[in-house]
């Protein structure tokens, strides 16, 4: 498989709920147009992982615990935390989409205790 081969990117149920919550909040507190634009930017960031999933950094909160099974990509202030499965085919599972100002350590610990279950595919 070449370094540029595409893989599947999926949102877990938790990441999908995160995305819905973020978009709804922006629509209610700012504008539906800004919420739609933000949704497009987040989905574009997720889709970008299809060709370069290893480009992300390890979340510092997990590195402190010695965990290197998850990576992150970001555009401020949002962080997309994901894992890459290599078998049976290469897949990216986005497990968290969150504002970086949240208590990420608690969120990561709570969410990562559950195995990823994909609900949508891009």
Q: Which pLDDT score, from 0 to 100, does residue 89 have?
A: 85
For 8-112, CATH number? 3.30.2310.20
Long-range contacts from 29-34, C-beta under 8 angstroms, 24+ separation: none
Cβ count within 10 A of residue 43:
14
Q: Which pLDDT score, from 0 to 100, does residue 2 have?
A: 42
Q: Which helix (H) or strand (E) holds 1?
A: none
Region of 66 please: left (phi>0), alpha (psi -120 to 50) or beta.
Answer: left
Q: Which pLDDT score, from 0 to 100, does residue 111 have?
A: 78
Q: Which residues of the chain have pLDDT under 50?
A: 1-4
Q: Which pLDDT score, from 0 to 100, does residue 1 have?
A: 38
- DSSP state at residue 36: H
Nearest one of 19, 46, 23 to 34, comparing CA atoms: 23
Whether the Cβ atoms of residue 55 and residue 12 lie closer than 8 Å to each other: no
Predicted model pTM: 0.81
């Amino acid at each position: 498989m070449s370094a540029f081969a595409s893989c599947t990117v999926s949102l877990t149920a938790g990441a999908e709920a995160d995305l819905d919550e973020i978009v709804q909040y922006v629509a209610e507190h700012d504008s539906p147009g800004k919420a739609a634009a933000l949704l497009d930017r987040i989905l574009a960031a997720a889709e970008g992982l299809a060709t370069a999933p290893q480009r992300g950094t390890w979340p510092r909160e997990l590195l402190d615990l010695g965990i290197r099974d998850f990576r992150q990509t970001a555009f401020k202030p949002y962080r997309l935390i994901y894992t890459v499965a290599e078998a049976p085919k290469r897949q990216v599972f986005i497990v968290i989409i969150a504002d970086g100002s949240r208590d990420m350590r608690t969120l990561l610990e709570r969410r990562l205790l559950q195995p990823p279950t994909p609900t949508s595919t891009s």
